[in-house]
Amino acid sequence: MDKLDIQILSHLLNNCRKSDRQIGTEIGISGVAVKSRIQKLIKNKVIEEFALKIEPPVLGYSVLYFVVVGKEIDYILNQIRLVGEPFYVVPCVGGVTVCSIVVKEDPAKKMELAKNLLHDVRVLSIFEAKNPEIRSDLTKTDIVIIDILLKDPRLKIEEIAKKSGFSTKTITRSLEKLQNDEAIQFTLIYNPKNMGEFIPFAILVGVKTDIKKTLAKLTKVFSGSFLQKPFVHMNQIVLFMYTNNVYKMDDLARTVQDIEGIQSVDLFMPKSITFPQKWVKDAIIEAKKSKRLHLMSEIHS
């Protein structure tokens, strides 16, 4: 991989539906060159698959995040599956696993149950993920289109129209809405081990002041090292970054700590990343049964 490859990967992580030509225009090469490089990234298994990531609250679920250390990932997953379905699973260097589950019932009770099930595991952190800025209003039409895109998020508009029976105008309107929705991400799953000299990592930032102002400061200083858009949860920000020098990674973490308003900084290096899809497939089956046009009006009623 070279710097152009990492720029292309970053664009696709933030929106994998972005066209080759558009990416090329933004990084200074032709769309044909971008397409060739994407094919190379797939062949070399840097890009494992394109994915549609939906924040569970949009479909009526709560999300619990765990940061644990000291057990194999299979053991951890077997335990938390007794509480809910996995949503995000990231084993990291140092025996740390960051994962999350979706739950339908009372999240506080589910959290206590999870703690009991993980009694022999060192739990560094466990919390319910909330982002009050996220608002969605999915229609039954959106749900049908999402169901199709789960299998291939980069599917052409004409193909979606053929599979759904909707007009290309309806598909275009829905896609524009979905791509502007903070709770829905057209992204990809990459393999950190196949990125050559580039090292992807995440910094979990605890914030003690205004989170929007702090995020703006972090973006201004570190956007050149962002691999993808930061994730915000209440008083925490997750920065997804990359470097080609393991010592620079530590320097970046220390520089983040020096930003005004930062309370804590934890650094994680992923070994693999997965988005299990069972929960969302089940949720879509339920959403399709709804007799209401707008899904969110039913979730909050």
* pLDDT band, very low/low/confident/very high, at 290 (cuts 50, 70, 90): confident
pLDDT tens per residue, range 6-37: 999 999 999 999 999 999 999 999 999 999 99
Residue 301 domain-assigned (yes or no): no
Q: How many domains does the chain have?
A: 3
Predicted pLDDT at 183: 87
Q: What is the domain range of residue 236?
A: 193-268
Least confident of 50-59, 61-70, 198-207, 292-301: 292-301
Report the CATH number at residue 245.
Answer: 3.30.70.1150
Angle subtended at Cα 162 by Cα 161 and Cα 166, rounded to the nearest 5 degrees: 40
Residue 226 domain-assigned (yes or no): yes
Residue 222 domain-assigned (yes or no): yes
107-117 in b/e burial notation, b at 16+ Cβ within 10 A? beebbebbeeb
Report the CATH number at residue 35.
Answer: 1.10.10.10
Amino acid, single-letter form, for residue 146? I
Same domain, 34 and 71: no
pLDDT tens per residue, range 87-132: 999 999 999 999 999 998 888 899 999 989 988 888 888 888 776 5
Same domain, 66 and 109: yes
Same domain, 39 and 69: no
Can you tell me whether residue 118 is helix, strand or coil?
Answer: coil
Q: For residue 47, which of 21, 18, 9, 76 has the smallest C-alpha distance?
A: 9
Q: Does residue 234 surpass a pLDDT of 80? A: no
Q: Please give the average per-residue pLDDT across 187-193, as a whole number.
A: 97
Same domain, 34 and 69: no
Residue 274 domain-assigned (yes or no): no
Residue 248 domain-assigned (yes or no): yes
Angle subtended at Cα 281 by Cα 194 and Cα 69, rounded to the nearest 5 degrees: 50
* 129 DSSP 8-state letter: -
Same domain, 73 and 9: no
Mean pLDDT over the full length of the chain: 90
Same domain, 18 and 83: no
Sheet (strand 62-69) strand order? 85-91, 96-103, 62-69, 122-128
* 49 DSSP 8-state letter: E
